[in-house]
A and B are shown apart, each in its own frame.
Chain A
Amino acid sequence: MNTWSWGYVGDILPDLLKGLGVTVEATLLGSLVSFALGLVWALALRSPSRWVAWPVGAVVEFVRNTPLLVQLFFLFFVLPSWGLTFSPLVTGVIGLGLHYSTYTAEVYRAGIDGVPAGQWEAAVALNLPRRRTWTAVILPQALRRVVPALGNYVIAMFKDTPMLAAITVGDMLFQANTIGATTFDYMEPITVVGVLFIVISYPTSLLLRALERRLVR
């Protein structure tokens, strides 16, 4: 039975913080991908054409109902055989972004549905073109409503980034694992990683709750 060593924590902290940098980078890039792709899905799902809405709906359901980790393995091992070679981090960002886009699509859908019918009617009465109605009237109002919900998915994604360690991305868990494998002492590295997750995600979720209270009157 070993005891907790602060000296050891001090030694490994720089490596773990380097991993944290990668974790944050993957989260932010993955978020951007999921925000953009989710919007594409949400708009496609509203398409009057069944040839657009149905296949997109099927893909979204499939991706949402299967594990991110397996999707990451699929991208990591299969994309290169299709001639698409990316770094592990880029592969991870694509995986995170794609997976979470199926959630953000639902958020956008709810946000768009929440815009009052009168806004659409006013746009018709002013004869605004369809594209302009979306970009100037509907989306600005819908996006404002969805900020807190999107923020929650950013936190969820943040907590899912340790999965990227499985495809050799040098995130926090990967660093902790590497350290543990050489020193045979996993206690400090993994504990510190777990605490860092709480230290970042809890205040962020408090901030989001405050933001939500402000945005939703």
Chain B
Amino acid sequence: MSADTHLPKDAARPAGGTELIRFDRVTKRFGSHTVLDALDFTVSAGKHVTLIGPSGSGKTTILRLLMTLLTPDEGTIKVGDAFLTHEEKDGRLIPAGEKHIREVRKNIGMVFQQFNLFPNMKVLRNITEAPVHVLGLGKDEAEERARGLLDLVGLTAHLDKYPTQLSGGQQQRVAIARALAMRPQVLLLDEVTSALDPELVAGVLDVLRDIARTTDITMLCVTHEMSFARDISDDVLMFDAGRVIESGAPEKIFTDPEHERTREFLGAVL
């Protein structure tokens, strides 16, 4: 499988190691509950970062903020050189307009827990829809790209089916292909195996391992699959109550965590 030929090799892509995502004192509240509390963290281009921690600790909120499905109450988020939800005007930051958000958001793709494939479109069109209508690709070019990605996720035989005709694992692989078809710099993975039957998890994780190994896409991943996290991650961030309480290489976090809460959490899930 020659994944590289289908996958993003963008010349303008920041070189590995430069900062791609920056959260600067980001606070998010739901009602009176503060999910993220003045959170700071950065992700370098090309890195694979896994967010772990007890449920309700704000991991998914981070992904949803990056995808602009939520807006921060305070603080700023930067993707590359641009603010995600703000624009600079006369040296001041103002809330971003739709056009600005769309421009920055182009760099980000997301795979959801519940797949969220469009049930009214066949597999192939699920993948080509956005490249055609957002990137302005021709139909043929978009389909060629989609076929390549379906090959990558091992579903070439199913391109003419509707999502409901596929298993959960197959649907999630289509969703991965759909996100990659936009050639984002960052791929957000939100508990992508949580809704799957146990026997279907491995197929999805294998595809993601492949992508992590063969591309330079930046990944931000929320998962409960600790062995997968250990395999693909460059960095693991341990969250608790809206803050990063510990971070480091997976070998360090998983074998010799410094924080008591991390030990408790890993003891419970491993």
Contacts and interface: CB of A to CB of B under 8 A. Distances in A.
Q: Do A and B come from the same complex? A: yes
Interface of A: 116, 118-119, 121-122, 124-129, 132, 136-137, 140-141, 144
A124 B129 CA distance: 13
A105 B133 CA distance: 29
Given A136-B129, A141-B120, A144-B120, A127 B106 contact: yes
Interface stretch (B47-55, B107-115, B211-219): B107-115
Nearest to A121: B69
Contact of B118 (A119, A124, A144): A119
A140 B119 CA distance: 10
Contacts of B118: 119, 122, 136-137, 141
Please report whether the interface of chain B is mostly helix, strand, loop or mixed according to DSSP: loop
A128 B133 contact: yes
B133 A122 contact: no
Nearest to B130: A126
Given A118-B114, A140-B120, A125 B179 contact: yes
Interface in B162-220: 178-179, 182
A127 B178 contact: no
B134 A124 contact: no
Interface string B31-52: 0000000000000000000000
Nearest to A139: B120
Interface of B: 67-69, 102, 105-106, 108-110, 112, 114, 116-121, 129-130, 133-134, 178-179, 182
Chain A to chain B: the 7 pairs with minimum beta-carbon distance, closest first: A126-B130, A122-B116, A118-B116, A125-B110, A140-B120, A127-B134, A132-B133
A121 B109 CA distance: 11
Contact of B69 (A119, A124, A129, A140): A124
Nearest to B106: A127
Contact of A118 (B68, B109, B112, B179): B112
Contacts of A140: 120
22 contacts: A116-B114, A116-B116, A118-B116, A121-B69, A121-B116, A122-B118, A124-B67, A125-B67, A125-B109, A125-B110, A126-B109, A127-B182, A128-B133, A128-B134, A129-B102, A129-B134, A136-B118, A136-B121, A136-B133, A141-B118, A141-B120, A144-B120
Contact of A127 (B112, B114, B119, B130): B130
Given A118-B112, A118-B114, A121-B69, A126 B120 contact: no
Contacts of A144: 120
Interface core residue of B117, B120, B182 (most chain A CB under 10 Å): B120
B194 to A, nearest CB: 14
Given A127-B105, A128-B129, A136-B129, A122 B117 contact: yes
A116 to B, nearest CB: 8
B87 to A, nearest CB: 17
Given A118-B114, A121-B69, A121-B112, A128 B120 contact: no
A126 B182 CA distance: 7
Contact of B120 (A116, A124, A127, A137): A137
A47 B232 CA distance: 44
B102 A127 contact: yes
Contacts of B129: 126, 128, 136
Contact of A141 (B68, B108, B119, B130): B119
Contacts of B120: 137, 140-141, 144
